[in-house]
Amino acid sequence: MLELERYWENTQILEVNRQKPRAYYIPYADAESAKAGKRSRSPFYRTLNGGWKFKYYNSVHNITESFYDKDFDAANWDDLLVPSCWQTAGYDQLHYTNVNYPIPCDPPYVPDENPAGLYVRDFRIADSWSGKETYTVFEGVNSCFYVWVNGQFAGYSQGSRIPAEFDITPHIQPGINRMAVMVLKWCDGTYLEDQDLWRFSGIFRDVYLLGRDGAHVRDAFIKPELSSDLAEGVLRCELDTTGPLTLKAELRDAEGKVCTAGQVQADGQAELTLNVSDPVLWNAESPYLYELYLSDGHEMLHFPVGFRTISVENGIFTINGQAVKLKGVNRHDSHPDLGQTIPLNHMIQDLMLMKRHNINTVRTSHYPNDPRFLELCDRYGFYVVDEADLECHGLAVSGDFHQLTRDPAWEKAFVDRMERMVERDKNHASIIMWSLGNESGYGINHIAMAKWAQKRDDSRLVHYEGAAKRYEGDTDTEDLDIESEMYASPAYVGEYGADESRSKPLFLCEYSHAMGNGPGDLKEYWDMFYKYPKLMGGCVWEWNDHGIRARTTGGTEYFGYGGDFGDHPNDGNFCIDGLVSPDRVPHTGLLELKQIIAPVRIEAEDLEAGKIRVTNLYDFNGLSHLSFTWKLESEGMLVEQGVLEAVDAGPHESAVFSVPFKQSLAEGRYFLTIMVRLKEETVWAEAGYEITFAQFEIGEEQESSGKAYAWLDALRQRPVDIREDGALITVEGNDFCHVFDKVKGTWVRLSKQDVNMIQSPLGFSIWRAPTDNDRNIRHKWMEEGYHRAGMKLYACSVQNQTDHEVEIAADFSLGGYMKHPVLKGQAVWRVDGSGEVSLAVKVKVREGLPFLPRFGLQITMPQGTEEVEYFGFGPHESYVDKRHSVRIGKYLLRVNDMFEPYVMPQENGSRYGTEWASVTNELGMGLLFTGNLPFSFNASHYLPEDLDQAEHLHELVKRKETIVHLDYKMSGIGSNSCGPELLEKYRLDEKEFEFGLQLRPIFKEDE
């Protein structure tokens, strides 16, 4: 067995020989290279990324070889790319768990069977580094590691997602050198890293060498400060050097012009001050950055600088004195192939998508991100809540939630994580808040973290949701600058905003759980956020699905989640809870968020006169960078269009503008749509990209007495023949033949010109494939048998008959075994001479039942029925509480286009507020559906049962038939997978209701 100091279970030894934490930077030789930020252009930088020799052990105790010796032969070991997570390379166990620790909860001890990864790499020290000090930097290693250089022990560190730097100068030699690293899967720090994620291991972020002069800048704290009127700026540079230096500083504006310069003699601690008159301020909307170049004559350090202030004024969160709303998301490091190893372009892709969807804030849940991510946030314009790598959630189920934060023996570990994060990230303008971690109880150790952060950096706020009263932790929250909540209901948020006794702003660090088909409660939150100044906004949970790209034995690709890889314990698909898919395809929930948090609000002022009110919801920018175009439609057809000229308003201001209609709107029904687009290309979107839209209905639909309906009125008067043959009633007209089964109580054939439009009997349906947000209510639904509810027919008869129409009444119930029927009703079916089938149904739901998922008609149409045309909300799915990103229009698409491919199949693709729809074959032969009132419509190649039974997309077997749902109503989506219960107003909880539909066989091309 390898002889090692057992640091990994000692809470008082967090490092050996690790350098003091410092700000992130790379030294360059000149300003041009420093500005470019390409690290390989620095003569003082040498990457150790690339191929390493690697060997995996199931237990550290199985290691018997002296692998760290300079001459050890590792030629037969595997090759592994660094950075990487060894699980994604096929070693160890892919494992997803949320709250539960994957090891016995016995802090600080971890299992003796502690997996280990051994890494060996040879490298050459450049001749130009002769006489320099050599440092090695590990940006991220999970969970702890030992380092040897040329057979000599160089250091130890833990704390997975914060850098560790070692001075290896005493151990290196001219020419070829060898570095050996041993990484352990678990250490006592594992108890502080119980985040909701895949449990990855290894050297997963960049590793590199730095060659430094003996006297060099060790650390720099760049503090942009502003006068109270924001008119004067001071750049205070607090410097720490390892020896005597003459340091020259030059501050350039964004155009490269030198604004101010200075120099200072430094030996140890020193301060350099630069004055800036009338500075351009940084904010997320206009992320103006100055460039500070700091040189000692050999090295050039480069720091982007953003002048801005952060404060709470009378309970209101402000930036640069302006009240700001945080329109945020929680973002994990997650790549479908690389795990927590995140390429630079992947970070950029995430931020560009966020910008395109009006997001301005990122919470780095629940650990510091790669330092380059923060550089991107500075440049592109995001507010960042930088979160310490600290979560002890497993203690909530396995012991005392506050156990570690109340234990003085763990204070050092708690504060160490805060200190290393703050020191690394302190120079980023984008960071507005430091977070003490997540879901770790609350006690003296968190308070020590907060006090340290406030003392070190009083320019930012300190946040920690774990101090909320419901956790019953320590009550001392003096050092926390804001109140934080997770998944508080909109009602609670409103109550807080209205409560004058609450003096701190409220931040929802997590809300609107975006799991699967969701979230469905965004607007309610944002109505509250905008209503009350004390409400800062919040961060949706979360940005992306954490699926792992995998393949079935047959080669079919899919995204795996907890349990798919034999991992235990696991939390299933609870990691599939994002606004984008693992490969960054936006879900419709992201489109909904984009619309609801849009920086422009357009409201009706006097539509008949063409007047609209435009409110600028930007916090700093006007509207001059946006174009406002409009179009007027009738029956889905364009009537008129144009551009609104000179639309502008200051931040948080409103103005009224006129739409210059030429069309008379005295009669008829029109839809006015205003599109707000970028005038010019930006780094994140092309010119013409739509930021938001608004749509208004003008006028009312007129009676169907016009010329266009005369032909149909005539058809309705054609004669109808009725024949009864046993249980079957045949209703036949000029070009149709429909068959009703009195035993089944429904239609079994609807045809036109001998083309049958239905594949199986029509039926009523109350069940939907539960969404992830139905994960709680579904149990109540299933207890009452909603999922197995079938129809019982009590009576059926022809009750009215004339020469040109017939009515058939059916009394029925829906229910399953063991329970009383869920509902009882009467359906009256009427057929007229045109072949149209009208349904009028009256329903009574049994008292005491949970709300219904849906109520409506389910129709199975034959193979080949692939074309869908409808008038209603589109182009994508919509629900009663998830419909702000869609607009009314006429849409033509395929059945496959209606489907939303959620990683875990569930209810999807419905269209709220549909006025009419047709589903036909390629020749236009099919059914036309209209309603007495707008209805919820869906066409799919899957039954709800198919979606419910499949756990992954690849398990779905597409039916050849098309299943159509025409719903009186469908209950909303909400966010109850983790958030509050579905709001009552979005539940189908009526105990009595009536529903009317019309079904008409058509040859669409002849209509």
Please report which helix (H) or strand (E) contains residue 836, including its range.
none
Yes or no: say if 899 and 966 are a contact pair by the CB < 8 Å rule: no
In angstroms, the CA 910 to CA 949 distance is 19
Yes or no: say if 425 and 371 are a contact pair by the CB < 8 Å rule: yes
Find the DSSP H helices in 336-410.
Answer: 344-356, 371-380, 395-398
The residue whose two tokens read 């129409």 is 805
In angstroms, the CA 931 to CA 808 distance is 19
In angstroms, the CA 772 to CA 562 distance is 15
Name the token pair of 47: 């990457």
DSSP annotation string for 624-667: TTEEEEEEEEETTEEEEEEEE-S----TT-EEEEE----S--SS
- Residue 456: exposed, middle, or buried by beta-carbon count in 10 A (0-12, 13-18, 19+)? middle
With H, G, I as helix, E, B as strand and everything else as coil, classify residue 1006: helix
User: Reading across the β-sheet that carries 626-634, which strands appear in turn?
Assistant: 637-644, 626-634, 669-678, 690-699
Q: For residues 391-403, b (16+ Cβ closer than 10 Å) or e, as one string?
A: bbbbbbebeebbb
Please report which helix (H) or strand (E) contains residue 984, including its range.
none
φ/ψ of 507, rounded to 5, equals -125, 125
The catalytic site residues sit at 439, 510
Yes or no: say if 369 and 333 are a contact pair by the CB < 8 Å rule: yes
DSSP annotation string for 455-470: HH-TTSEEE-GGGSGG
* Residue 18, C-beta contacts closer than 8 angstroms, at least 6 positions apart: 155, 156, 157, 164, 165, 166
In angstroms, the CA 4 to CA 118 distance is 14
In angstroms, the CA 364 to CA 331 distance is 6
For the chain, state the CA radius of gyration: 33
In angstroms, the CA 284 to CA 307 distance is 12
Determine the angle formed by the axes of helices 411-425 and 444-456, rounding to 10 degrees: 30
Q: Hey, which residues does 125 pair with through a beta bridge?
A: 175
In angstroms, the CA 455 to CA 424 distance is 16
Name the token pair of 811: 């009394």
Yes or no: say if 800 and 773 are a contact pair by the CB < 8 Å rule: no
DSSP annotation string for 510-546: EES---SS----HHHHHHHHHH-TTEEEEEES-SB--
Residue 233's Cα: distance from chain center in Å?
37
- Residue 713: exposed, middle, or buried by beta-carbon count in 10 A (0-12, 13-18, 19+)? exposed
φ/ψ of 31, rounded to 5, equals -65, -40
DSSP annotation string for 709-735: GHHHHHHHTS--EEEEETTEEEEE-SS
| Amino acid at residue number 595 | Q
| Amino acid at residue number 131 | G
In angstroms, the CA 348 to CA 37 distance is 15
